[in-house]
Structure 1
Amino acid sequence: MHVLVVHNRYSSAQPSGENRVVDQEVALLRAAGHRAEVFERRSDDIAGRSLLGKAAVPLLVPWNPAVRRDLAARLRAERPDVVHVHNVFPLLSSAVLAACADAGVPVVATLHNYTQVCPPGTLHRDGRPCSECVGTTLSLPAVRHGCYRDSRLATVPLAVSLAVNRRRWWSGVERFFCISGAQRDLLVRSGMPADRLVVKHNFVPEPEVRRAGRGEHVLYLGRLAEAKGIGLLMTAWDRIAAAGGVGVPLVLAGGGPMEREVSAWAAGRDDVRYAGLWEPAECRRAVARSVAVVAPSMARETFGLVVAEAMAAEVPAVAARHGAFVELVEDGVSGLLHTPGDPASLAACIRRIAAGPDRNQEMGQAARRRYEQGFSPAVGLERLVEGYRTAIAGRTESMGGSK
């Protein structure tokens, strides 16, 4: 099968799970003998633009005519069987769908977030869940609140793109890959075509190393932002420390807007270590040395890559009881779920998962079995190719019916 993957890469200054998923899927397809090529734009390239070029970027968010021209030419030259679209913000735009329509190539799209119904794609605002724009046409609440980067001006291009391109997305994509059932349920309720939405969880490559002992630390690995629950985790850990601790330190790795606050909080403590940004190999080693991985997100995550990676390494997780985490973690079996936004509940779950080494090991083994059944490369490849074939067949049938 010949697949062309379309993706706007996120800035390298902030590690992106979405970039990682795209790279891993391309490698998976190639290893299985498929021809997988990439058509991409890079957000890093914006810095090298002239002042006028930088100022023009918001105008390209709803529609980039050069991308339509360039992609259409490539599609005519290469004639792939299917195009797989990931992120199109900010440099690709919905023009990629027009290019595919011009060339008559079927499209599948992975929905990594909620940008089909929420301009910033988070369904989270001011420290709490928000669905004000779900079901609306113009996303005016997002503009009023300045939901993207706390800026009304920066939010406008996203809101405009969502309003003018919604019909193009909903009619121009043969299959949407939702990365969790929770995400699909919300999108169906928002009015998206249910027959085009299928669940295809992200897969996780087989880890180079799995946990061999009891673990050396509790690990938070991810973006240092309020929506990810980092403030909640600090409050919960202070409660744990005041009660005597759990015998291992908390290690926090990542970067983001709360980096300075996290660094100051961790400074001078024996029970906390802030590690900054790690290379991927170091992240994998740290996961395998963990008593547990903590994912206390305040937002309703569409997946939970770090949790799946921990499961692959035979490490249980403590995660918030909402969004995709409920699908990933079987509470009390392969990990523990805490009440979202509740520091006491989070602290209790961390104490519980660290208190019994034998039970912790059993949870880790159950987590590994869950990984093998649902998130392994073999499962990921099967679901990916199945989605492509369904999209190709759907396009062929619709073309036949129109003749």
Structure 2
Amino acid sequence: MSFRVALISLHTSPLAGPGSGDAGGMNVYLVGLAEALAQAGTEVELITRDAGEGATDARTPGGVLVRFLRAGPRAPVPKGELPAQTPEFARSLAQLPRFDVVHSHYWLSGLAGLEAARAWRAPHILSLHTVAALKNERLAPGDRPEPAERLSGERMLVRASARTVTATDAERLAVLDAAGPDLDDGRVVVVAPGVDPSLFHPREPAAPDPYLLVLARIQPLKGIELAIEAVSALPCHRRPRLIVAGGTSPGHDDYAAALRALAERSAARVEFLPAQSRSATAGLLAGAALLLVPSRSETFGLVALEAAASGTPVVAAASGGLVEAVADRLSGVLMSDRDPVRWAAAIDRLLADPARLAALGASAAEHASRHTWASTAAQLRRVYRHAVGESLPE
């Protein structure tokens, strides 16, 4: 039988480069999942808002259709103004040929996707990717809390959807806590994301000059100042340069300027790069001595898994989904506090012991090899099948 799945991403195009604007791990997730679903025999489309990128239809590198729907101006719209565009997006979506499953990614997509699913009498599957209540609990100093509209919207969507898919047990617990005590916990399931081994794999270092790496959008949530302070605290004879690669998220220009000022004052050699292509990202990860992930909160932290697949160990904050994305002492080291001196000590111990660093890189690659997009797609096909209530070919 033909089984059609719509993967909805209203606020960001799946084809947008991670690290630019509002694009990040979710964009990587959408393309990886869509292509794996298609390879497994599922008819799938990626659907996003037409923000004036060009053609109304495009395709992922693996050939999955990306459909751009009109909702509001054919131009970028600030994320805070997008809730007003969801009714028009839902109407445009409902005019498409019927899908058997609507899988919305992020709460704005859910607002539109739920309405279309109801019109088609199809199950609505939700993936929030970031939980507003959890994000507000771990707010960076000076950062803006998520609005009440999003908090209530997420709660409504979790309760109204057939299933909510989370990436980690930590996210699952946060979703259940935010949704209310009477929600059937069987409707919130964990499906871990995957990694593309054809792109992310160990390589010989391209240059003799070692470097540490931060791959993240420039925003307070990512805690990049901690990485700069930690590298600055390293012994001067063992202080590699730090590369920070990623664009500035909308509304965070002041934070980006403060980071650059901090870098200039510090003892660290910091190089800021713009958002990178996927192939350039793979090269940076494979060539780094360590990836640093000092985020205050991550639903999963896909970049940590991509680093592991590249044979690059991770030093990460023991926060949210990073506790599950990073296998402590196997694919990296988890830090329980945000003290830059303690971070520097952990980094220095690894840099000072090349044999241990190499062993950790090898075990990291082994850890990542168990996370494939094919496995993610297979698990989600089962979620879809159970939600629809009928069998699918495996």
Q: TM-score, normalised by structure 2?
A: 0.79
Of 95, 98, 103, 2:120 maps to 103
Q: Which amino acid aligns with 2:37?
A: L
Deviations 1:297-347 (A, max 9, x none): 122x11001101001111110001121111122222221111232212211
Greater RCO, 1 or 2 (C-alpha within 8 Å, sep 6+): 2
Q: Which residue of 1 aligns with 2:381?
A: 385
Change (3 A) 1:44 1:354: farther
Q: Which residue of 2 aligns with 1:18?
A: 26
Of 187, 193, 207, 1:196 maps to 187
Q: Which residue of 1 aligns with 2:60?
A: none
Residues 62 and 165 in structure 1, CA contact (< 8 A), matched pair in contact too: no
Q: Which amino acid aligns with 1:127?
A: P
Q: Which amino acid aligns with 1:17?
A: G
Report how far residue 277 of structure 1 moved. Answer: 2.6
What is the number of residues matched between the two proteins? 356
Q: Which residue of 1 aligns with 2:164?
A: 176
Range moving further from structure 2, 102-111 or 302-311: 102-111
Distance between the aligned counterparts of 1:303 and 1:324, measured in 2?
4
Report how far residue 184 of structure 1 moved. Answer: 0.8
Q: Which residue of 1 aligns with 2:340?
A: 343
Q: Which amino acid aligns with 1:124?
A: R
Distance between the aligned counterparts of 2:387 and 2:195, measured in 1?
24
Q: Which residue of 1 aligns with 2:104?
A: 85
Report how far residue 286 of structure 1 moved. Answer: 0.5
Change (3 A) 1:365 1:126: closer
Q: Which amino acid aligns with 1:2?
A: R
Distance between the aligned counterparts of 1:126 and 1:377, measured in 2?
32
Residues 200 and 309 in structure 2, CA contact (< 8 A), matched pair in contact too: no
Distance between the aligned counterparts of 1:312 and 1:54, measured in 2?
35
Report how far residue 163 of structure 1 moved. Answer: 3.0
Q: Which residue of 2 aligns with 1:49?
A: 73
Q: Which residue of 2 aligns with 1:135?
A: none
Distance between the aligned counterparts of 1:6 and 1:171, measured in 2?
18
Distance between the aligned counterparts of 2:230 and 2:331, measured in 1?
21
SS of residue in 1 equivalent to 2:236: coil
Q: Which residue of 2 aligns with 1:151?
A: none
Deviations 1:374-400 (A, max 9, x none): x212322222212211221289xxxxx
Structure 2 portions without partners, runs of 5+: 54-69
Q: Which amino acid aligns with 1:85?
A: S
Residues 207 and 313 in structure 1, CA contact (< 8 A), matched pair in contact too: no
Change (3 A) 1:100 1:250: same
Q: Which amino acid aligns with 1:8?
A: L
**What aligned pairs does 1:221-232 form with structure 2 within 5 A after superposition?**
221-232=215-226
Distance between the aligned counterparts of 2:154 and 2:321, measured in 1?
27
Are residue 69 (structure 1) and residue 67 (structure 2) matched? no
Higher helix share: 1
SS of residue in 1 equivalent to 2:201: coil
Q: Which residue of 2 aligns with 1:29?
A: 37
Q: Which amino acid aligns with 1:147?
A: P
Are residue 249 (structure 1) and residue 231 (structure 2) matched? no
Report how far residue 32 of structure 1 moved. Answer: 2.7
Distance between the aligned counterparts of 1:244 and 1:340, measured in 2?
23
Q: Which amino acid aligns with 1:271?
A: R
Residues 322 and 340 in structure 1, CA contact (< 8 A), matched pair in contact too: no
Residues 10 and 44 in structure 1, CA contact (< 8 A), matched pair in contact too: no
SS of residue in 2 equivalent to 1:83: strand
Change (3 A) 1:23 1:252: same
Distance between the aligned counterparts of 1:265 and 1:370, measured in 2?
35
Residues 262 and 274 in structure 1, CA contact (< 8 A), matched pair in contact too: no
Q: Which amino acid aligns with 2:8?
A: V
Residues 83 and 105 in structure 1, CA contact (< 8 A), matched pair in contact too: yes
Report how far residue 262 of structure 1 moved. Answer: 3.4
Distance between the aligned counterparts of 2:328 and 2:35, measured in 1?
33
Structure 1 portions without partners, runs of 5+: 129-144, 149-154, 396-403
Deviations 1:141-180 (A, max 9, x none): xxxx9524xxxxxx4xxx235436733x234311111111
Of 219, 228, 231, 2:213 maps to 219
Report how far residue 265 of structure 1 moved. Answer: 4.4
Residues 61 and 93 in structure 1, CA contact (< 8 A), matched pair in contact too: no
Q: Which amino acid aligns with 2:344?
A: A
Distance between the aligned counterparts of 1:260 and 1:369, measured in 2?
39
Q: TM-score, normalised by structure 1?
A: 0.78
